[in-house]
Amino acid sequence: MRTLGQALLGSPARVAAVAGATLTQLLRMRLFLVPAAVALLVLLLQFVPYQEGVCVEFQGVAQLLFLKDVCLGCMQLFALLFCVAATALLIPRDAEDRILYTILCKPVPRFDYLLGKWLGVVALLLLVVGLLDGLMVLLLELRGASLAASLREQLTLAGYSPEQAAPYLEQVAEAGNTWNVQRGILASLLGYGVLTGLTLLISCCTSGSLVSMMFGLGAYALGMSQGTLFALLSAGQGVSASLQVVQRAVQFLLPDFSLFAVADAAAAGTPLSWGMLGALALLAFFYILLHLSVAALIFSRKEF
């Protein structure tokens, strides 16, 4: 009989095989066409004329901030839809193609199967977001260097010394790519990893991909606003005992996704330390393990 540790860790070879098959399955769905369209949109932004109504000292900052915000918004939208849609399609597609029965008739534990599915989705997510992030960094560096050179020339013509021009050139550099922005992207990816596990759990409880997608997006929306929602429910009348029980249950099973959605704040200059990122990683690990364990329990008792 397998111990609890063996059940949670599973066989690396089995998990890797399921993850590889899942990655291949997702690639065959041509989901890479979506990030390709996103990348094309970002590239087209380079040819959009941008007029700035500010003094010469601050020219270029708004352009870089606009480009960075669009890139981050595209990455976040793609990651959200991909995590929910791709994960919700996996188990029904395996059942439809009879792959699920072939796998489960072999000595493959349910947790190993679900962990492999999760890893396959996350692997493709990391690959695509990494490529989009690399494109964003490249564009910001190229545009930032061009704007910095133009600004330096204009400041020199306006009579600024190199020391006087340095703070304005530093603003251009800070408006581009920074390590703080990259930490914000990593935090967002941790949240989407949690969302992938939660969608797998929902997919084990429901029948049909569309229903799983709807519940997955609904769970994400609830997780993003659970603090505000419970504050509104308890406003003016205190928190009843039953509401406290419901609130604790929701907070235990459903993470506060707003904790991970810090990429925009990091891009705006809010500092995000490596220690904070480590705390988010531990929180994400807890929820991923919780969701996959509950999903494996439900999946083992589900009839297909």
Q: What is the DSSP string of the chain?
A: ---HHHHHH--HHHHHHHHHHHHHHHHHTTTTHHHHHHHHHHHHGGGS-----S-GGGTTHHHHHHHHHHHHHHHHHHHHHHHHHHHHHHHHHHHHTTHHHHHHTSS--HHHHHHHHHHHHHHHHHHHHHHHHHHHHHHHHHHHHHHHHHHHHHHHHTT--HHHHHHHHHHHHHHS--HHHHHHHHHHHHHHHHHHHHHHHHHHHSSSHHHHHHHHHHHHHHHHHHHHHHHHHHTTT---HHHHHHHHHHHHHS--GGGT--HHHHHTT----HHHHHHHHHHHHHHHHHHHHHHHHHHHT---
Residue 1 pLDDT more than 50? Answer: no
Mean of per-residue pLDDT scores for the chain: 80
pLDDT value for 35: 66
Higher pLDDT residue, 73 or 95? 73
pLDDT value for 136: 87
pLDDT value for 171: 81
pLDDT value for 67: 83
pLDDT value for 123: 93
> Are residues 10 and 110 in contact, defined by beta-carbon separation less than 8 angstroms?
no
Q: Give the model confidence (pLDDT) of 137-155 as tens digits.
A: 888 888 888 878 877 887 7
Query: In angstroms, rounded to a whole number, what is the distance separating the alpha carbons of residues 218 and 94?
Result: 24
Residue with tokens 């595209």: 74
Residue 209 pLDDT more than 50? Answer: yes
Q: Give the model confidence (pLDDT) of 34-81 as tens digits.
A: 666 766 776 666 666 555 544 555 566 777 888 888 888 888 888 888
**% residues pLDDT > 90 (the chain):** 19
Q: How many CB atoms sit inside 10 A of residue 2's CB?
A: 11
In degrees, rounded to 5, the angle at the alpha carbon of residue 173 between the alpha carbons of residues 167 and 177 is 155
Nearest alpha carbon to residue 284 among 148, 146, 211, 191: 191
Higher pLDDT residue, 206 or 186? 186
- pTM for the model stands at 0.84
